[in-house]
Amino acid sequence: MTTPGPGPALAPAEPQGEWRHLHPLSPLLKGGIAFLAVVAYVVSQQADSLFGADRDDPTQGHLGLAALGVLVVLVAIIAGAWVSWRFSRFRVADTLIELRTGVLFRQHRQVRFDRIQAVDLGRPLLARLTGLSEVVVQSAGGKDSHLKLSFLTDAQAQQVREQLMALAGRSDEVTGPPTASGTDAAGLTDADYVDVPAPAPPGDQVLTVPNARILQSVLYSGPGLVIVVAVPALLLSIVLGVPEMVAWLGPMTLAVGSAHLKRLTQECNFEVLHQGDRLRIRHGLTDLRTTTVPLHRIQAVEVSQSLPWRLPGWWRIQVNVAGAGTGDDVTQTVLMPVGTRAEALRVLALVHPGIPADAAVAALEGEGTAEGFVTSTERARRLDPLSWRRQGYAVLPVGLLTRRGALWRAAQFVPHARIQSLKVEQGPAQRRRGVATVRIVSTVGPVSPVVAHLDEAEAVRLLSEQVVRSSLARQRA
């Protein structure tokens, strides 16, 4: 398949079901970091000569043999890359996508369409320089079961992504071979599989986060404030020649700074688009990522606000998506890295339109029993003196809305049909006060709804009634 030109017509794709190779440059791009490491080592060895100093000869006078050895290694790398590419193939079959890799140690990975949770399109820095992209198929089995096509041309990657999203959307239908009329059991013709589908419409822009706000949000955090203080102190220690301070501040600044630098590069250029029944999330500075998430795959959502963000009024939205796993990976779990309350409510209404606006505001900033919230009993005041009136839940027709925290606020929403289980917990201090905690179990992810310090009878009532509500919701679904 060739890269499409500027005209509206796209080149035809290979028929569905046929094995296709990845791009020939894929092995070299996968080893790009190792290549850069070798280059960095060579440059560091020559650094002395750049400043006029005598450089050491690591070859001990055998420069020709060393050059021959480097040439042999280079040829071996090229040959290994070609063999790796030759034995790496993928295909989109009737009900699943398959990937085969390896020569001595072979691997055959499959992901069924009905298990696809999201499809990412990534463009690391080296891939962008060569016009290639990576397709990551996220499945319900977790991160280890994801399937990666590294790499395809950008046009091929977009075509595969759109095809997989379309097939995942109709995976509940019975798919069979084409009939005599040229259509299969789902009503699709050969053209749906042979031709490159037209590019998906760009969609409605829901949210664009300015990079300046991303930078400020990183600094307006506990570790960010540490960096603001530690960096000047480290520079001053270097100037004054205090090795003890450098040895202490250097590793700490590097550890904290590297984590925040990763977050900064991931969240830059953040944009959310709405395309019918799915969201398309774009983000990244050096590694550009485009994630397509069907709305019905979102299992739970959390809107949170840390204490340093109270002054600018910023919020963060994270979600649980089956198969995405834990962690704070933007590609997997973040719908809004930082935004205003109005932006948070807009995204929340898009993800779960059944949440009334007044109930959403009460969950974010309210306390007490307004908008139908059931809060912790007054007997929990000693256990949680700051937020006992805020801790609580509200039952909505479409799901369960919970909130917690007075200084660090958080509100969670889980549809009734997506609640996996519930459990009531009670520690010794809670037992003396006659209160208990209800924990709502969703799929694995950063959202873990908890309603703390409810009256014992209220906790048991929530548990028993929610089991019935979830069962009925799953039957209707």
- What's the number of domains the chain is made of? 1
Q: Which residues contact 334 (CB under 8 A, 6 or more apart)?
A: 267, 316, 317, 318, 319, 328
* Helices 222-240 & 243-267 angle (0-180, nearest 10): 140
> Is 49 a domain residue?
no
Report field, pTM of the whole predicted structure over 0.85: no
| Complete DSSP assignment for 89-146 | EEEE-SSEEEEEE-SSS-EEEEEEGGGEEEEEEEE-HHHHHTTEEEEEEEETT-GGG-
| Contact between residue 128 and residue 109 where contact means Cβ atoms under 8 Å apart | no
> Is 176 a domain residue?
no
Whose tokens are 């834990």? That residue is 326
What pLDDT was estimated at residue 37? 59
Among positive and negative, which fits the CA dihedral 30, 36, 38, 39? positive
> Is 127 a domain residue?
no
3-state secondary structure of 457: helix
- The span from the first CA to the last CA of the chain, in angstroms, equals 40
What pLDDT was estimated at residue 16? 55
CA neighbours within 13 Å on the CB side: how many for 235?
5
> Is 316 a domain residue?
yes
> Is 169 a domain residue?
no
What pLDDT was estimated at residue 263? 84
Give per-10-residue mean pLDDT for the chain (477 aa).
40 60 80 58 55 53 69 75 82 89 83 84 84 85 75 90 79 41 38 41 82 91 78 82 79 78 88 88 88 85 94 94 60 87 94 92 93 93 92 95 94 94 93 95 90 94 94 88
What pLDDT was estimated at residue 8? 37
What pLDDT was estimated at residue 83? 80
Extended strands (E) in 155-248: 204-208
Domain residues for the domain of 469 are 295-476
C-alpha dist (Å) from residue 440 to 35, 172, 405, 416, 473: 47, 28, 17, 11, 16
What letter would DSSP give residue 417?
G
> Is 429 a domain residue?
yes
Question: pLDDT of 84-110, one tens digit each?
Answer: 788 888 999 888 899 988 877 888 888
What pLDDT was estimated at residue 374? 95
> Is 416 a domain residue?
yes
> Is 407 a domain residue?
yes
Q: Where are the alpha helices (DSSP H) in 338-391?
A: 341-351, 357-365
- Cα distance between residue 170 and residue 277, in whole Å: 12
